[in-house]
Protein backbone atom coordinates (compact mmCIF):
# COMPACT_ATOMS: atom_id res chain seq x y z
CA UNK A 1 0.00 0.00 0.00
CA UNK A 2 1.21 3.51 -0.79
CA UNK A 3 1.82 5.62 2.33
CA UNK A 4 0.53 9.19 2.09
CA UNK A 5 0.46 12.13 4.50
CA UNK A 6 -2.53 12.47 6.83
CA UNK A 7 -4.29 15.75 6.01
CA UNK A 8 -7.81 15.23 7.32
CA UNK A 9 -10.13 13.00 9.35
CA UNK A 10 -10.76 10.64 6.40
CA UNK A 11 -7.01 10.13 5.89
CA UNK A 12 -6.63 9.61 9.64
CA UNK A 13 -9.36 6.94 9.78
CA UNK A 14 -7.87 5.15 6.76
CA UNK A 15 -4.44 5.20 8.40
CA UNK A 16 -5.87 3.77 11.63
CA UNK A 17 -7.62 0.98 9.72
CA UNK A 18 -4.41 0.11 7.87
CA UNK A 19 -2.43 0.22 11.11
CA UNK A 20 -4.83 -2.29 12.62
CA UNK A 21 -4.43 -4.59 9.59
CA UNK A 22 -0.62 -4.67 9.78
CA UNK A 23 -0.23 -4.24 13.55
CA UNK A 24 1.53 -7.59 14.12
CA UNK A 25 4.06 -7.15 11.32
CA UNK A 26 7.66 -8.06 12.10
CA UNK A 27 10.27 -5.33 12.35
CA UNK A 28 12.63 -5.21 9.39
CA UNK A 29 10.07 -6.52 6.91
CA UNK A 30 8.30 -4.43 4.26
CA UNK A 31 5.09 -4.45 6.32
CA UNK A 32 7.09 -3.74 9.46
CA UNK A 33 8.56 -0.65 7.80
CA UNK A 34 5.09 0.45 6.69
CA UNK A 35 3.85 -0.02 10.26
CA UNK A 36 6.66 2.13 11.66
CA UNK A 37 6.14 4.97 9.16
CA UNK A 38 2.36 4.86 9.57
CA UNK A 39 2.74 5.04 13.36
CA UNK A 40 4.88 8.16 13.04
CA UNK A 41 2.37 9.83 10.71
CA UNK A 42 -0.56 8.99 12.99
CA UNK A 43 1.30 10.25 16.06
CA UNK A 44 2.14 13.53 14.29
CA UNK A 45 -1.49 14.03 13.20
CA UNK A 46 -2.81 13.27 16.69
CA UNK A 47 -0.34 15.63 18.38
CA UNK A 48 -1.31 18.44 16.01
CA UNK A 49 -5.07 17.85 16.10
CA UNK A 50 -5.76 16.37 19.53
CA UNK A 51 -3.19 18.00 21.83
CA UNK A 52 -3.26 17.02 25.47
CA UNK A 53 -2.92 20.03 27.71
CA UNK A 54 -0.90 20.07 30.88
CA UNK A 55 -2.68 19.12 34.08
CA UNK A 56 -3.91 21.66 36.59
CA UNK A 57 -1.05 22.31 39.07
CA UNK A 58 -3.14 21.57 42.16
CA UNK A 59 -4.63 18.42 40.65
CA UNK A 60 -1.09 17.31 39.77
CA UNK A 61 -0.02 17.82 43.39
CA UNK A 62 -3.04 15.89 44.71
CA UNK A 63 -2.46 13.06 42.24
CA UNK A 64 1.23 12.79 43.09
CA UNK A 65 0.48 12.88 46.83
CA UNK A 66 -1.95 10.00 46.33
CA UNK A 67 0.61 8.05 44.30
CA UNK A 68 3.22 8.54 47.02
CA UNK A 69 0.82 7.84 49.89
CA UNK A 70 1.31 11.33 51.30
CA UNK A 71 -1.05 13.13 53.65
CA UNK A 72 -1.50 16.89 54.05
CA UNK A 73 0.78 16.85 57.08
CA UNK A 74 3.54 15.33 54.90
CA UNK A 75 3.11 18.15 52.40
CA UNK A 76 3.29 20.69 55.24
CA UNK A 77 6.93 19.66 55.67
CA UNK A 78 7.51 20.76 52.08
CA UNK A 79 5.51 24.01 51.82
CA UNK A 80 5.18 25.12 55.43
CA UNK A 81 2.24 25.09 57.79
CA UNK A 82 -0.63 22.59 57.59
CA UNK A 83 -3.10 25.45 57.20
CA UNK A 84 -1.08 26.68 54.20
CA UNK A 85 -1.33 23.23 52.59
CA UNK A 86 -5.10 23.28 53.00
CA UNK A 87 -5.30 26.74 51.42
CA UNK A 88 -3.14 25.63 48.51
CA UNK A 89 -5.07 22.41 47.88
CA UNK A 90 -8.34 24.38 48.00
CA UNK A 91 -6.90 26.96 45.57
CA UNK A 92 -7.20 29.78 48.10
CA UNK A 93 -3.45 30.44 48.14
CA UNK A 94 -1.12 30.59 45.15
CA UNK A 95 2.12 28.66 45.02
CA UNK A 96 5.24 30.72 45.60
CA UNK A 97 8.45 30.26 43.64
CA UNK A 98 10.07 28.63 46.67
CA UNK A 99 7.12 26.20 47.03
CA UNK A 100 7.32 25.34 43.33
CA UNK A 101 11.01 24.54 43.67
CA UNK A 102 10.43 22.33 46.71
CA UNK A 103 7.44 20.55 45.11
CA UNK A 104 9.48 19.92 41.98
CA UNK A 105 12.27 18.28 43.99
CA UNK A 106 10.07 16.43 46.50
CA UNK A 107 7.14 15.31 44.32
CA UNK A 108 9.02 15.27 41.00
CA UNK A 109 6.34 17.38 39.30
CA UNK A 110 7.76 19.36 36.35
CA UNK A 111 8.05 23.07 37.07
CA UNK A 112 6.22 23.88 33.82
CA UNK A 113 3.15 22.19 35.32
CA UNK A 114 3.48 23.94 38.69
CA UNK A 115 3.94 27.48 37.31
CA UNK A 116 0.68 27.45 35.32
CA UNK A 117 -2.18 29.70 36.33
CA UNK A 118 -5.09 28.10 38.17
Amino acid 93: pLDDT: 93
Co-location of 37 and 86 in the same domain: no
Amino acid 51: pLDDT: 84
Co-location of 42 and 82 in the same domain: no
Co-location of 61 and 96 in the same domain: yes
Short-list 98, 10, 11, CA closest to 88:
98
32-59 pLDDT per residue, tens: 999 999 999 999 999 999 988 889 999 9
Q: Which domain holds residue 38?
A: 9-49
Sites in the chain below the pLDDT cut of 50: none
Co-location of 61 and 15 in the same domain: no
In the 8-state DSSP scheme, what is residue 52?
Answer: P
pTM, rounded to two decimals: 0.59
- Does 1 fall in a domain? no
Co-location of 73 and 103 in the same domain: yes
Q: What is the CATH number of the domain that holds 87?
A: 1.10.260.40
Name the domain count of the chain: 2
CA dist 26 and 34 (Å) reads 10
Co-location of 85 and 110 in the same domain: yes
Amino acid sequence: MKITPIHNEKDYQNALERLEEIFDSKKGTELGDELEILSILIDKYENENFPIGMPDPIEAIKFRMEQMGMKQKDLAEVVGFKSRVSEILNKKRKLTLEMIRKLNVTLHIPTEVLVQDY
